[in-house]
């Protein structure tokens, strides 16, 4: 497909991510991303042959297609209709074999259980009313010793990104070692009304432990108060909410 036809197709869809789809051609999204650089930065291998990957919150697919470029068998999951976003257009242009499931991480199909070597869970957990259920479902779909790579909003430096916390740096410093999460009543950050729970780094670590993960690593980007990390599925973990008697 030539560049003129590709550009014509791109104009017909709503894009969230702007990324280089083919050499020299970028999608017209609101948020610029470099998926190869992001995956490299979190330590994901350049050769993923025979690896099965689940990309949660794929939207128009920049990370889905980068995982596939690295040799992985990729499944994308998102609540958005792939015909309304640019996902299916990208898939057509790239002749991709990625599978798309339209659904929520909080209602993960059981047939996905124990399938994946890697789950990429970027920019999602703070948009959910049930983040612990989401992490439990991520645990379910990973193979034993599978790895989740996650990232999202943290409360620790919210004074730098959210007007409500602007003058509360001292308070944030006091509570940063506590496993607590801020419930967002209205908007968070730049008028984002789709956020629900913003955890401290300590709280996020506790969520992962409670969801059956081990060897947890969490990095904090201070200037935008974001987490970036990974954790390994503990195959011996038993999920429960209350002790049975």
Q: How confident is the model at residue 23 (pLDDT cuts 50, 70, 90)?
A: very high
Structure-block tokens of residue 91: 């898939």
pLDDT score at 112 = 95
Task: Compute the average pLDDT of residues 200-221.
Answer: 98
Mean pLDDT of 199-216: 98
The answer, yes or no, to whether residue 6 has pLDDT greater than 90, is no
pLDDT at 75: 98
Cβ atoms within 10 Å, residue 16: 15
Query: Cα angle vertex 75, ends 73, 79, to 5°?
Result: 170
Closest CA to 85 of 152, 30, 151, 5: 30
DSSP 223: G
CA dist., res. 168 & res. 225, Å (int)? 14
Per-residue pLDDT reduced to its tens digit, 46-62: 999 999 999 999 999 99
Cβ burial, residue 41 (10 Å; 0-12/13-18/19+): exposed
Note the pLDDT of residue 245. Answer: 75
pLDDT at 239: 86
> Would you state the pLDDT for residue 18?
95
Cα separation, 149 vs 110, in Å, equals: 21
CATH 1.10.10.10 for domain 1-103? no
The CATH fold of domain 109-236: Rossmann fold (3.40.50)
The whole-number average pLDDT for the span 122-139 is: 97
pLDDT tops 80 at residue 88: yes
Residue 5: φ, ψ to 5°: -70, -35
Task: Assess whether pLDDT exceeds 90 at residue 162.
Answer: yes
Rounded to the nearest integer, the mean pLDDT of the chain is 94
Same fold for the domain at 1-103 and the one at 109-236?
Answer: yes
Q: Is the pLDDT of residue 196 over 90?
A: yes
Q: 0.85 cut: is pTM over it?
A: yes
What residues contact 149, with CB distance under 8 A and at least 6 apart?
42, 44, 118, 119, 120, 121, 122, 229, 230
The predicted pLDDT at position 244 comes to: 73
- Predicted confidence (pLDDT) at residue 12 exceeds the cutoff of 80: no
Map out the domains of the chain as residue ranges: 1-103, 109-236
Which token pair is 85?
């976003």
Q: Which residues pair with 197 in a beta bridge?
A: 183
Question: CA–CA separation, 56 vs 78, rounded Å?
Answer: 6
DSSP state of 199: E
pLDDT of residue 10: 82
**pLDDT score, position 14:** 83
Percentages helix, strand, coil for the chain, rounded to the nearest 5? 30, 30, 40
Burial call 215-229: b when 16+ CB within 10 Å, e when fewer = ebebebeeeebbbbb
Residue 89: its H or E element: helix 87-94
């Amino acid at each position: 497909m030539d560049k003129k036809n590709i550009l014509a197709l791109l104009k017909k869809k709503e894009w969230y991510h702007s990324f280089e789809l083919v050499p020299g051609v970028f999608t017209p999204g609101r948020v610029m991303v470099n998926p190869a650089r992001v995956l490299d930065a979190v330590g994901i291998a350049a050769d993923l042959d025979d690896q099965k990957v689940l990309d949660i919150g794929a939207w128009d697919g920049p990370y889905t297609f980068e995982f596939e470029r690295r040799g992985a068998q990729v499944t994308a999951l998102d609540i958005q209709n792939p015909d309304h976003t640019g996902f299916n257009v990208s898939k057509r242009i790239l002749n991709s074999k990625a599978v798309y499931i339209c659904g929520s991480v909080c209602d993960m199909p059981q047939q996905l259980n124990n399938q994946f070597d890697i789950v990429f869970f970027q920019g999602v957990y703070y948009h959910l009313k049930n983040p612990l259920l989401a992490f439990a479902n991520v645990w379910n779909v990973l193979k034993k010793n599978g790895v989740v790579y996650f990232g999202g909003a943290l409360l620790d430096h919210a004074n730098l990104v959210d007007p409500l916390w602007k003058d509360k740096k001292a308070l944030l410093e006091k509570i940063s070692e506590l496993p607590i999460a801020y419930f967002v009543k209205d908007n968070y950050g730049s008028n984002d009304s789709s956020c629900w729970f913003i955890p401290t780094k300590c709280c996020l670590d506790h969520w992962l432990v409670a969801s059956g993960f081990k060897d947890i690593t969490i990095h904090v980007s201070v200037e935008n108060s974001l987490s970036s990390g990974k954790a390994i599925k503990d195959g011996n973990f038993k999920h429960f909410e209350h002790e049975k008697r």
